Every structure is written in structure tokens, then in C-alpha cells.
Structure 1
Amino acid sequence: MSTAATSAEAPQPSEAERINALIERINANDDDMAQLMHELDMMGDPEDMEGLRELVEFISQRDQHTPESWVHLVRQSFGETIPEGVLGESEMKLYTTLYGEPIIQEIFEESLAEEEEQESDQLLRENEGGNWEEIKYEEEAEVEDDVPVVYDMEATPEEEETIAMRRTREVAEQLGGEIMLEQFENEAVPDSAPRAHALTTDGKFQTDPSTINLPKNTVTGPISIILSEFSNKHIADTARRLFGGPGLPHSTTTAPPRAQLPQLAIPINASQNFMGEMEANAFLAALYPGIYASTLSVLVELRKRLGSEWIRGLISQEGGPNVLDASGGGAGILAWRDTVRAEWESMVPDHPDGDPIPYGRSTVLAAADTLRLRASAILDNTTFLPRLPDYLHVRDAPTVHDKREAPKRKQFDVIIAPHSLLNFDEEYERKLYVQNLWAMLNPNGGILILLEKGRQKGFEAIASAREMLLKRHIASPGSTEYDTALESPEDNVTTTKEPGMIIAPCTNHSTCPMHNTAGPTKGRRDYCHFEQRYIRPDFLQRIMGAKDRNHEDLKFSYLAVQRGRDLRQERGIRQDSEATDAAFEGFEHRSESLPAIQPLALPRAVYPPMKRRGHVIFDLCTPAGKIERWTVPRSYSRQAYRDARKSHWGDLWALGAKTRVPRNLNLGDKHGEGKKERLARRAADKAASREADEEGDMDEHARDEEEEEGEESANGRRDRSALPEVPMRKKGQNIPSWKKHADKKRIRLAVRKQSAADL
């Protein structure tokens, strides 16, 4: 760390020579180094030394994280008591926003005080008795005054030496070495593993950090204040009564399949006209966290696929973006505002804290007064609607009977509709609801987000809405018109579809390979859904009664479509079998001179990758609209194998694979027969078959007796003692058919022999 004075005429050693000389000096003192490290381990309190090493190692990982992920890691590691120097000024503000003011703990206060009391020209070491002893060393000769000092004008400013750096330098000096400069570190110790490929990073489906912490200032704090006026026990009892008991299986929480619970819609929704005080509290406490987490996850994915220009264009337009929360009660608006805030801070990094952020115009559907009052306390500058407008039955132009201009329609840039499709019992009602939301979208690039629980019925509702939008509204190559079938073929009405595109999660516009167009099925095991982990707030923890964990893995199915713009034509995106073949070959070594790879033309992992020893298996939904299983072994590519080991559920994959096979799907019974119904039907069929066999055996035995009596009457009475004995069938006994035929054959042969003997 010190700068050595050298002569102006003396030749400067090269960097390689300095590194080799240092390595030789360290190798020559291996024994001394081992003895000194042993002594260092023995001095002082071992727990303090171990804590220092762990803290230094922890701080060394700081450059590998973003500010958000670093703050989250510090929170998990230290809790509310943060060691001094771990967080910077901006990170401290972010920590205060998310978790409140931390407690700063000074490190090694006593040790620092004792070190400051020592003289600066002494080098001390703590002995086994806990006292400090001086280490004698020889001082270097003083530098002559006439020898000029050489300064490196291009060198970076010297950093302030910390406690850990000073102790490390002292150890290095005692060993006869020095601290290796940062610019030589990568040359001496090359990185054993490559960094993630750029296409792998772009294709990630996850927030940063991957676990969502609900902000305290905008979400958990206001909700806690509202709920503090009511009894925790009453809120918990109401939530359990509404959402299916302990665990709240009928809320946004997804119960495991082994629970075998009925797949029901969320009992309360924002569109119902009456909602009691405690029901509104349960809506905030039990539904807001899950809706916020799933919506934020989808918005982050949209931001990645559409690019920063999409959301920045909405922010910069006159009046800002116009956003509608159609069924989240305001939780979707909270997620949208956090997305806008993050983008605004990246656009204007030095904006004052008190300056307003251009959130735009927010509209929330809240029919009940109790829910509206609570949501208005959380959301400012928000318009609340008692019901959604009906644009399907409003004329688009003047008619023969009404010459007036068509009424103006309110258009929204983003519509968020979480957990609203399963509230309709009939399929046609869901389609009308989705069509009405589509009509309210801005025809110049509006985004519609549909969300449902990650179960079979939730996926089928989302897939049915996707099929309807592709069939009637979104134009694709080879499908630009939609024929409305009326009573006679001559009266059919042809409607021209408009531009549009599915942004996520699908990277194809063909029929969903997991959806059965004949209708809902039972016994389905394969369906498209994804996962997002979030930390439960304290009020939800109390309702859940959970003591073993404080997080939840939220599973959901979703669809995000854009109206009025088709990026497939604007960016030249291909979604067909050729795009799938190209993705299978991989783009790891693609030349930079070629056109950029579009993530919307890559396959997506629809299940968690199976990471086995020496290979990784992906279940991918390809741009050709097929579900295939791709295998990436270690021998395929070092970069691809490393990225495959780091991949997650929902990621887009661009580095290819070695093998690919079609994946067999279990889509259930098309006739609506589940596992229980199928087993019951098989048991009934088996019982009926057994009864028929018993009746047939009795009839056949009667016929055999009649034949034997006839033969005896014709040929005289025979000696039946010569016939083989056949055991009598007991009641309820099931005799195999081959045994029956064998016994009958023996009787027939014996009768024939006896008849031949009589003749």
C-alpha cells in the first residue's frame, strides 16, 4: 500500500517481474507463514477473530450485488443491528424506506481505543495472556533529500485504509511481502467460472432481489395503521371464515395439490356492492400482499420484454400513464407505482426526495364503501369507480335511429385485472368480461394483464381468454379476419382483426399446447403457471398463524397482451419452427455484427429446471407452440452448462441444448372425469362384470347338467364316480376364466371316454 521512493535513473521493474518476485518471496517463506498464521489464530479472542474474518468476507461480496439486493442481504444477515460501514448513504436511505431506521453498531470499539493509545512508530501484537507486546523491526534508511520522488499521474486516488486492510498489510509486511494491487488480481488468479451470458441475463424471469419485500412506506405501513384500530383476533377469524380456514387456501395463497381442496374463486372481490368492516380488513390483510407480489412480478417481466422506452414513453406523455386496477382493490396500483418510481429514479438519479413522481392517473374499482375508504387512505390522487363501464353494448358510431355522435370512451394505457375470471360461473360471461376490458384499452399500445391462481382452473380461465383474444381480436400471419357465424351462411359478418401481440409469458401465437379447447378437464397435472416468493408482513403472519417460516411461494398463471402494436413486425420477430431450431442450436457464439436476438423468439421454461449431476433438463414451451424437453450436459458447452445450473423457473433460454424430445403431457380427461370419478367408474364396471360372470356361470352349470341328464336318459344311467371332481365355487369367490375352461374340458373328456366304454 506504501509508495517506495526510487531513483529517477533506476529502471522500473515490469508488472510481471513484480508479481513473480512476490510469488518467489512467498514460496521461500512458506514455513514462516504457516507458523505466523498459527500464532495469529492463537492471539486474541477466537470468536472475535472469526467474526472479523466473516465480516471482511461479507463486505467483499458487495460489488456483486445491486443496491436493492445488497440491502436485502444485509437485512437477512444482521437484522435491525447493522455494523458500521456496511451500508452507504444511498443504501441507508433504501434500507430506511423498506425496513425503518436501523441500529448502527460500532466495530471493535475497545480494540480501536487501545490501538489509538499506542505510539505510531510501534508495531504491537497481542500475546496468549491477552497483553500487548512490541515487535521489534529494523527501520529502513531515510530517503535522501536530493532524490526526486516519482509519482504516477494516472493512478487512482489512494483509498482510506480500513481496520481489516491495515491488519492485512501488517501481516504481509511481517511475511516479507506486500498487498497485491487490484489490477493484478485477475491475472494472478483467473476466474474459474465464466460470467452469465448476456442473453441469459436478459431472459431472466425474476425481480431484483428475487424475493419481494413489501415496502413499508407505501404498503405495509399504511395497512398496519388501518388494521391497528381493530382486534387482531377478529380480523384473523374473519379471514379464516372467508378464505377456507387455517392457511387461507381460498385466498391468493395456493394450497398444495396434496391437500385435494376444491378450486374455488376468491370469495370476496372489489366489484361486490356490500362489504362489511371486517371483510374489508380481511381484504387488505389477506389479499393485498399476494396481489401486489404477483402484479409486481409481471410488471417487471413486461419492463424487460418491452424495454425501458415503453414505460418512459408513458411517463413522458401528457398527463402521464392512465392505469386501471379492475379487480385488485388498489394493490395493482401500488405495484405499478413502485415500478414507475424505480424507472423514474434511473431516469433522474439526482432528483430531490420531496419532488413528485409522475405516476399518472390512477383508477380503482371499489364498489363497497368500506373498501373504498380504506383504499383511499393508502392511495392518493386516485379515482374510484363503483362499477366498470360497459363498452360492448355502446354504439361506436351514429345509427339510423340515433344521429348523435358516439359517446366518448375512457381509454387506459394499462389495465390490471387480478383474480377476476373465476368469479364468473359461465364461460361466455368470462369472454364478455375480457372483451369489455379489451375495449377499454388504448388502441395505440395499451397493455392488459390478466392474473389467476396457479391451479388447473385458474390456468384454464387464462388460456380460454388467450384463445378468445387470438381468435377474435389479435391479427397474426394467416389469421387477419374473424367470421361471426349467424343463422345462415349468407348473413355471416367478417370482422378485420387489429394489430396486437402477446408479450408474456407466451413466445408464440398458436394454440396453447397445454389447453384443451373442448372445455375444462379434470385430473389435469400439466398446466402453465409460475412462482414468486415474497416476505409476509406481520399482520398476515398473525392471520396465517405461521411460526415456521415468514415467506410464501406464490403460484399464479397470467397473460399480458398489447393492443394496437405488433412487435413481431416492428422488430422482425419470428415465432415458428425455424425460430425453435435456431434456439436449439444456441446463440452463445453469435457474431455481434448479426442482428440482435429478440427474447420474444426464445423458448421459456414452464417448469423448474431439473439439475442433475453432469446435466440440466429443461421443459420448454417453444416458439413453435410445442412443449419439449431439452438436455444441456456438461460436455455441451462450459458457458451453457454454467448458465443452465443458474437458471430458474420461467427464464427464457438462448444457449441451445444437445438433445431435444417432445414432452408427454397429462391434460386430464376431456369428458370432465377426474381421478376419483375414474376410479369409481372402474370399480363399478368391475363389480358389474363380476356379477355378470356369476350369472353366466350359473346358467352354464345348469346347461351342463341338462346335457348330462339328456345323455344319461339316452344311454342309461352312468357311473358319475368316474368323472373328475370339480370344487364347488364359494359365495363371493372369484375363479379365473382359464380355470373354469380347464375344469369343463376335463369333464367333457371324461364323459366321452365313459360313453365310448359303454358302447
Structure 2
Amino acid sequence: MASRQLLKKLTTRNYSTNKAIFLSAKQIQSLEVGSERELLVEEISITSEHYVRGSEEAAFGSKRIGCVELPKPLIKGIQDLVEGQDKRLIRTDALRLYDALRSTARIPKDNEEFDGSRASKKIRKASATVVEPHKVSYGPRESVAYAAGVLPSTYAAVTNVMKEISNRISDFRPRSMLDFGTGPGTAIWAAKETFKLEKCVGVDLSEDMLRVAEQLEESTKTDTSTPVEFKRYLAFDPKAQKTDLVVSSFTLGDISSAALQKSTVEQLWAQTGDILVLIDRGTPIGFSNIARARQWILDLEGSDAHVVAPCSHDKPCPLLFSPEAKPDDLWCHYSQRVQRPSFLMKTKHSKFNTEDSKYSYVVLRRGHRPAKSTSIENQAYHWPRLIQPPLKKNGHIVMDTCSTNGEIQRMVIPKSQGKIPYRDARKAMWGDLFPHPSKNKVVTRMSEGVSKE
């Protein structure tokens, strides 16, 4: 009955030639069209060719990986860890950790002058509530609180860096890993999700932290798990084989002096066979720790190193070593969103199931920086990186980038530059590599840095 009604509508109405009616094969067969009335059926060809609006280079240089989720075995291990603990004590200890982290994010200046303006009153009020910079030693309670309240954000930052290394360097397939300042084994968990490792070593000074790391590892261990060894001290043997991947995440800031930081970084580089990853908090102090460590390795005699990320050059960081640098106002850091597990939401008393992890990092590799070639992988070493979210205006995009000549430059991509460059600029995000040059003249915001180390 339905097919006859459809046929009646088709044969009684006069349709203009610029209109089309789309029918499936089953509907056409059910019409039972006779010889006196014939339907004009035209097959529409559908091509499987993918239409690309943006460039392949911009997609390769993208840093975003979406919201990070912790592995389910790790979530279960932490839930089992906190199950037998006093939840109120865990929250109290976590709040102490947060206060310690905030207190060392930015050191207040003693010579600040205040006038009677409203902005000055706000600064005075904020400075009055600043907690004296201090650090927390990790005992049994603090180690559990770290796993329940801090681990997810650090895991997200390390995961982003591991993914970037895997995407940028196709020939990097590490078999061994050293995690200095491993804590509860956060970086090891993140690296195992990205690379197929055969041996992992985690080093941490706190025995209670190592005990938590071992408990998490044992609770999720299977027959195919990568063997992990945890120990308190880093022993260096010149004759021993070097480690393919060496990671130190959120550890440099806990080292008391710059001299110890430099000694630690040099020892880590001596044990690195291929790639060294240094990550710290996305604060002015965390950034300065990373920038100085980066320069220490590049200045080493015979280091033969180059920066893979985030810098597009091997010169001193202009955000710290340039005469125009103001690291308290503008510093190199990035953000990664992570999904909060239930135990983290309970620890923070939060109803939001996501949070953003701010971090600074550097990835150094042995050997010289690859020269420009036809491959996208080598070209990416010479693309500027966005150090801030782009300003999307009407008809043009303004981007502040760290350029290949070691300067902080502001470039403008107008709509008249072309569809592909303009769309790539519209879709570019904080931390991405941008493959197109600026049509207009670039403006140098900070000149090339001069190392004072």
C-alpha cells in the first residue's frame, strides 16, 4: 500500500528538472513501474577519496591528544591502596601537599611598592595570604596522599610528552627506561602505555614512596608485564650499557640547590643512551629549572645533543636568558587535561571530573639536529612552536611563537595568505608546531638569549 501511494505521488506531480528524489533500491523495486510510465533513475557515484581541508604538516605538528584517562589497573591499584586508609587523613595530607606546591610556585618579592590604587590593594591582600615557601618530606601518609591527590595530573603531563616523542620520532623504540624521582612510578606507567619496554628502573630517595610504587606494581602485575626494579640510589657504572630513555618528572624542583640540580642533570645525561626527558611544574620556578637544565646539557663539552621539543632551536632560551625576558610574567609551559578518577574527586571534594595539568618540559636527544629534508619528520625540527594560545581575530590570526633563530616572534596569518595556511592557523592551539611562514613581517618580542651559566 505504501509503495502504491509513493508511485501515485511520483506520477501525478510535476517536478521541476532541478529537483531530485532519492530512493533506495528496495523502494524502487516496490514501485512496480509499468512500461507506460517509466522513472528516470540515475545512479550517483560516491568517491572514497578523502577531502583534506588542512595540511598534513599542521596535523603532524599538533600536540593535543585529548583528555587523558588513567589505565584501569592503575585506578584499581590506587583504590585498593586508599581503601584501608582514613579518608579524612588522606585529604588533610593532600591539602598539605597542595599548599607546599603552591608556596614554591612563585617566590614573592620583598621590594614591591604599593600605592593607594585598587590594584595595589589587591596585590597587598594576596601577598598577605601567601604561604612561606616550604617542601614536604614524603613519609607513609604523604606517599599515599600523593598517589590519591597528585598522581593523575603528573601522569597526564608525562603521557603527553611520551605521545609527542612517539609521534615525532618514528625510529625511537626504547627497550630500557630509567625514571629518576619515580615517586609511585608515575612516569613508568605512562611510558609503558606508549612504548614496549623490556626493562624499567625507578629511583627515589623516599622508601615510603618506593613501597607505594611496589604495591601498585604488584597489584597489577601479570605474566606479560614489564619487569620493574625500584631502588633508592642511582649508581653509575661507566662500563654498563646506557639506558635508551631516561626520565625525570617533577623532581628538579625538590632538589635544594642549583649546584645539586646541575650535578644531577649531568649524571642523568651520562646515563642516557638516546633520549632524556625532563619535566617540571608549569610555574615560573618550574620553567626556570627546565630552561637551566637544558642549557647545562647543551653547554657540556662533547655533549653532542640537540633539543627535540619543545624548542625549535638549540640556542639559549629567550624566555629566561634574553635581556627582555620576564619569566614571572611569560614563561614556557603547556597544559594537558586529565579525567579525574573517583578517588581524586573525593580527595579534592570536587564535583568536576576533569582538571588541567600545567607543566614545563624539554626532550633532548644525542646527535646533531636533523637538517631540513623532504620528510615531514625532519622538517618539524625547524617549525616554530606556539608558546601561547593564538588570538583569533576577524580575518587574521595572531600567534606568539618560539622561532628557529632563538627569538620569541609574533606572526600574523591573514585570510589572504590562502585557505590552507589560514585554516591551519584557525585550528592551531597552544603548544602546536606551525609549518607556514608569516606573510607579513614578524615582530620580535624577545631577542636571542645569552647564556650566563
Instruction: Please indicate the TM-score interval, normalised by the length of the shorter structure.
Output: 0.7 to 0.9
User: Which residue is equivalent to 2:200?
Assistant: 362
Q: How does 1:208-227 map to 2 (within 5 A)?
A: 210-217=66-73, 219-227=74-82
Cα distance in 2 between the residues matched to 1:235 and 1:203: 40
User: Which residue is equivalent to 1:267?
Assistant: 135
- Structure 1: state its 5+ residue gaps: 1-22, 31-120, 124-136, 143-175, 315-320, 341-357, 397-407, 474-496, 575-593, 668-759
Q: CA RMSD in A?
A: 3.5
8 Å contact from structure 1 (residues 25, 177) kept in 2: no
Tell me which of 131, 145, 159 is aligned to 1:282.
145
User: Which residue is equivalent to 1:470?
Assistant: 298
Tell me the SS of whatever aligns to 1:620: strand
Q: How does 1:346-385 map to 2 (within 5 A)?
A: 358-379=196-217, 380=221, 381-385=227-231
**Which amino acid in the other structure matches residue 353 of structure 2?**
N
Cα distance in 1 between the residues matched to 2:91 and 2:104: 13
Structure 1 residue 507, shift from structure 2 partner = 1.1
The TM-score with structure 1 as length reference comes to 0.48
Q: How does 1:137-536 map to 2 (within 5 A)?
A: 139-140=32-33, 181=44, 183-184=45-46, 194-207=52-65, 210-217=66-73, 219-244=74-99, 249=102, 267-268=135-136, 275-307=138-170, 309-311=171-173, 314=174, 321-329=175-183, 330-340=185-195, 358-379=196-217, 380=221, 381-389=227-235, 391=236, 408-409=239-240, 411-442=242-273, 446-473=274-301, 497-516=302-321, 524-536=328-340
Cα 1:266–1:517 change in 2 (3 A) is farther
User: Which residue is equivalent to 1:95?
Assistant: none
Cα distance in 2 between the residues matched to 1:179 and 1:645: 40
Q: CA offsets per residue over residues 576-603 of structure 1, 9 Å max, x none? A: xxxxxxxxxxxxxxxxxx6656100111
**Which amino acid in the other structure matches residue 309 of structure 2?**
A
Cα distance in 2 between the residues matched to 1:198 and 1:523: 34
Tell me which of 551, 559, 583 is aligned to 2:354.
551
Q: CA offsets per residue over residues 39-59 of structure 1, 9 Å max, x none? A: xxxxxxxxxxxxxxxxxxxxx
| Higher relative contact order (CA closer than 8 Å, sequence separation 6+) | 2
Cα distance in 2 between the residues matched to 1:292 and 1:335: 6
Q: How does 1:670-709 map to 2 (within 5 A)?
A: none
In the alignment of these two chains, the number of paired residues is 397
Cα 1:524–1:249 change in 2 (3 A) is closer
Cα 1:24–1:223 change in 2 (3 A) is farther
Tell me the SS of whatever aligns to 1:290: helix
Q: CA offsets per residue over residues 505-544 of structure 1, 9 Å max, x none? A: 11101121111389xx987211111111111111111121
Cα distance in 2 between the residues matched to 1:323 and 1:550: 31
Q: CA offsets per residue over residues 159-187 of structure 1, 9 Å max, x none? A: xxxxxxxxxxxxxxxxx898975x43799
More helix by share: 1
Cα distance in 1 between the residues matched to 2:447 and 2:141: 42
Cα distance in 1 between the residues matched to 2:145 and 2:332: 29
8 Å contact from structure 2 (residues 385, 401) kept in 1: yes
Cα 1:509–1:366 change in 2 (3 A) is closer
Cα distance in 2 between the residues matched to 1:335 and 1:644: 30
Cα distance in 2 between the residues matched to 1:610 and 1:503: 26
Cα 1:250–1:239 change in 2 (3 A) is farther
Q: CA offsets per residue over residues 299-336 of structure 1, 9 Å max, x none? A: 111112212x212xx3xxxxxx1111111321000000
Tell me which of 384, 388, 407 is aligned to 1:603.
384
- Structure 2: state its 5+ residue gaps: 1-14, 106-121, 222-226, 449-453
Cα 1:551–1:179 change in 2 (3 A) is farther
Cα 1:663–1:535 change in 2 (3 A) is farther
Structure 1 residue 666, shift from structure 2 partner = 12
Cα distance in 2 between the residues matched to 1:177 and 1:386: 81
Tell me the SS of whatever aligns to 1:660: coil
Cα distance in 2 between the residues matched to 1:238 and 1:310: 40
**Which amino acid in the other structure matches residue 368 of structure 2?**
D
8 Å contact from structure 1 (residues 619, 663) kept in 2: no
Tell me the SS of whatever aligns to 1:422: helix
**Which amino acid in the other structure matches residue 212 of structure 1?**
V
8 Å contact from structure 2 (residues 253, 289) kept in 1: yes
Structure 1 residue 503, shift from structure 2 partner = 0.9
Cα 1:231–1:220 change in 2 (3 A) is same
Structure 1 residue 462, shift from structure 2 partner = 0.8
User: Which residue is equivalent to 1:650?
Assistant: 431
Q: CA offsets per residue over residues 428-469 of structure 1, 9 Å max, x none? A: 121111111111212xxx211111111111111111111111
Cα 1:426–1:180 change in 2 (3 A) is farther
Cα distance in 2 between the residues matched to 1:437 and 1:265: 27
Cα 1:28–1:660 change in 2 (3 A) is closer
Cα 1:236–1:180 change in 2 (3 A) is farther
Q: CA offsets per residue over residues 49-73 of structure 1, 9 Å max, x none? A: xxxxxxxxxxxxxxxxxxxxxxxxx
Cα distance in 1 between the residues matched to 2:414 and 2:438: 8
Structure 1 residue 664, shift from structure 2 partner = 3.1
Cα 1:554–1:663 change in 2 (3 A) is farther
Structure 1 residue 374, shift from structure 2 partner = 2.3
The TM-score with structure 2 as length reference comes to 0.78
8 Å contact from structure 1 (residues 243, 266) kept in 2: no
Structure 1 residue 242, shift from structure 2 partner = 3.0
8 Å contact from structure 1 (residues 510, 625) kept in 2: yes
Structure 1 residue 250, shift from structure 2 partner = 6.1
Tell me the SS of whatever aligns to 1:503: strand
**Which amino acid in the other structure matches residue 540 of structure 1?**
L
Tell me the SS of whatever aligns to 2:416: coil
Cα 1:617–1:226 change in 2 (3 A) is same
Q: CA offsets per residue over residues 461-495 of structure 1, 9 Å max, x none? A: 1111111111114xxxxxxxxxxxxxxxxxxxxxx
**Which amino acid in the other structure matches residue 179 of structure 2?**
D
